[in-house]
Chain A
Amino acid sequence: MKALKSWEGGLLVIFLLTLSWNAAFAPEFLTLQNQINLFQLSIEKIIVALVMTLIILNAEIDLSVASVLGLSAAAFGYLINAGYDGGTAIALCLMIGLAAGAVNATLSARFGIPSLVVTLAMLIAFRGLARVLVKDTSLGNFPAWFTDLGQKGLIGPIPLSLILFVLLLALLAVLLHRTGFGRQVVVIGTNADVARFSGLNVVRVKTTLFLLSGLISAMAGLLYTARLGSVRGDSALGFELDIITMVLLGGVSIFGGKGSMVGVFLSILIILNLRNGMALMNITGHIQTGVIGILLIASVLLPNIVNTLRARQART
């Protein structure tokens, strides 16, 4: 009973409901291929959402992730068409991601400018750099091994990106819930001043997280490029909103300090299944987005209302 009352318990119930609804109304839903497709369609977003979980738990935000993703994709397209080989291009793109993370980290963690402002400006700047690289065309002509990695199964029907997602999920869940670093992330997110006076190196933890965010976003950009086989200046435009929605719906407090990887994973499953179910029922993408918007607001509003009613009952 206690488990059901927690956030994760509520999410689990919603997830099972969506799952059974989908299974009942769309016979092709439970096939392995549809399950893989369901992850593949949003794989870049859900990978970045895992790192965003740590950032928001730390009471920061990174609005620039989709632009870093787009910049990495654009850089790959540019480098391949400039004659670089795939391996070098991948390494350079990951370095660009790290550099982008370093810019965010320096300005927010070291200079103390709110990360909302820093990453908003960088959202514009990095997107701009992506447009500089691609101009108003689209770049393709990628090596076959590269697009195969994005489009074909690596182990049986399971593609590389899904394997990376599962690995990262396990890695970050252990990092967050089982290591000292993870505890530092949460403590700083709860109260940065207390953490600083307790001798924690707040700047270093925040810097690490922004570097990680840049690196993983760049990796997601490469996966995106491999999956779609071409890059444009506006690739992945606006992804940051979906990514943040996944994290917040997972029960991570926007004020930091509260939330779990399990919650975010369940929220990812719910959003993917809802979208997939609605798509199978021929509901368009924009309505899907609207439904998820309502779900996001309701996920915070309903517990608030319940708490208020309970408090009132307790008083009388």
Chain B
Amino acid sequence: MTGIFHRVSPQSLRLIALALALLATILFFSTQIDGYLSPRMFNRVTTSVAVVLPLAVGQAIVIMTRNIDLSVGSILGVVAYLTGQLLAVLPDLHPVLVVTLAMSIGALAGAINGALVAWGRVPAIIVTLGTLALFRSFLVEYSDAKTITTASLPAWLVDLPQANAVTVAGFDLRVTVVLALAACIIVGLSLAHLRWARRFYAVGSNPDAAIMAGINPHRVVFVAFVLSGALAGLSGFLFLAKFGNITVVAGMGFELKSIAAAVVGGVSIMGGTGSMLGVLMGALLVDTIDNSLTRWDLVSEFWREALLGFLIMAAVTMDTVATRSLAKLRAKGGQA
């Protein structure tokens, strides 16, 4: 009976469980909502995931190193606003340059967090709680309560959310979705194969052992925050493209969404574990539930947030209980 548990690693089992949960969610809602398995719904979910996914990927890297980044929502807001403002003045800027700029502004904000956490030795929750307020008040003061509107943006950006990268069997994959997926895949492959990226796991699972192995943990933590900031910058760009109208509250509360996606995706808050495939599925699961509940006639739209919170809790609880009983099973199997 226990044979299968020995062949499949707990990490893979967790991914399988997540995939099953996602499948079950989709199947359930397809019986409840007319025209659920349609290209339109697919687009709705994927373009919404695209904004959150880079944030969640960055958050996951930071959480892996036993830290947390509460400022990502504020960074997203600042980047979306500054990028929008820049494009209003210089509409002919090359799109690649715009994305690079957006990610650089984010990286700069992340560097402030990273330096304070790594070298200032201020706990991440304190630093990012402070910069969450600080970046947001910078935006409020800087913007002077003016908003960025779609009318001031260049046509390519306004059309970007509707632009298709590939179409498979009637299902379109938008360019914005591909961008977010690319970020997730690049980070995922790096974490699996590159020596410098493996250090995030090393520092998170055992900082002392990492130092013994000759790793500079300060530098690793700093890089994690810079990456989180840069990815929040990418999300800021995608947010600008998706919504077009940017007010000072843009991205407020997204830090919670990113943490939810990462945690549901199996990134342990204790550091040292987590996979990008998990984060992708976590983000997909959270956003699928979120988007489906708004369409579900049986429950009022006001139930959406409450159900979402309880579902996240259920996912994490099941994960914890399952992982623990699995560890017990393995221990028993080992003795026999």
Contacts and interface: CB of A to CB of B under 8 A. Distances in A.
Interface of A: 107, 111-114, 116-118, 120-129, 131-132, 135-136, 233, 241, 244-245, 248, 254-255, 284, 286-287, 289-290, 292-294, 296-297, 300-301, 304-305
B147 to A, nearest CB: 15
B309 interface: yes
Main secondary structure of the interface of A (DSSP, over half): helix
Contacts of A293: 129-134, 137
Nearest to A71: B306
B133 A241 contact: yes
Interface stretch (B75-83, B91-99, B116-124, B237-245): B116-124
Given A113-B320, A121-B316, A132-B302, 8 more contacts: A114-B269, A128-B306, A131-B306, A135-B302, A241-B129, A245-B129, A284-B141, A304-B121
Given A124-B308, A124-B309, A300 B126 contact: yes
Contact of A129 (B136, B263, B306, B317): B306
A254 B141 contact: no
A123 B313 contact: no
Contacts of A233: 302
A297 B130 contact: yes
Contacts of B126: 248, 254, 296-297, 300
A99 B220 CA distance: 42
Contact of A107 (B125, B270, B317): B317
Q: How large is the interface on B (under 10, 10 to 19, 20 to 34, 35 or more residues)?
A: 35 or more
B256 A111 contact: no
Main secondary structure of the interface of B (DSSP, over half): helix
B313 A125 contact: yes
A244 B130 CA distance: 11
B302 A131 contact: yes
Contacts of B171: none
Nearest to B259: A120
A301 B116 contact: yes
B140 interface: yes
B264 to A, nearest CB: 9
Contacts of B138: 290
Contacts of B263: 117, 120
A114 B270 CA distance: 8
Contacts of B127: 297
Contact of A289 (B68, B133, B259, B316): B133
A248 to B, nearest CB: 6
A112 B312 CA distance: 16
Contacts of A113: 316-317, 320
Contacts of A294: 130, 134
A117, A131, A304, most chain B CB atoms within 10 A: A117
Shortest 3 CB-CB distances between A and B: which pairs? A125-B309, A128-B306, A290-B137
A123 B253 CA distance: 11
B300 interface: yes
B136, B260, B303, B310, most chain A CB atoms within 10 A: B310
A137 to B, nearest CB: 11
B309 A122 contact: yes
B304 interface: yes
B122 A128 contact: no
A185 B304 CA distance: 37
Nearest to B74: A293
